Amino acid sequence: MAKKRVNDKVMMIPEGEARDCASYHFVQPKSTLMHRSGNKFRMRKYHPGLRQHVWFIEARMPQHK
């Protein structure tokens, strides 16, 4: 039987902004290795609204209704 992989998707929002009022966000898969380490995902990407590169941090995906 195949292994069950844990590739959850996380919402990436700009650092310093709240999830509810984030000006720009994107969805990124979080690998099994990142789950085991227990660290929050953080990456630097281009923000089209600000027209510059900023740090994005991991936030929980909103609940489905």
Q: In whole angstroms, what is the distance from residue 58 CA to residue 10 CA? A: 6
Q: With bands split at pLDDT 50, 70 and 90, how would you rate the model's confidence at 5?
A: low
Token duo for residue 35 = 């789950």
Q: What is the pLDDT of residues 6-64, one digit of tens each?
A: 568 899 999 999 988 889 999 999 888 877 888 888 999 999 999 999 999 999 888 87
pLDDT greater at residue 65 or residue 30: 30
Q: In whole angstroms, what is the distance from residue 51 CA to residue 45 CA? A: 11
Assess if CATH 2.20.28 describes domain 9-59.
Answer: yes
Do 43 and 25 meet the contact criterion of CB atoms below 8 Å apart?
A: no
Token duo for residue 48 = 């089209």
Do 15 and 32 meet the contact criterion of CB atoms below 8 Å apart?
A: no
Fill in the DSSP letter of residue 17: S
Q: Is 50 helix (H, G, I), strand (E, B) or coil?
A: coil
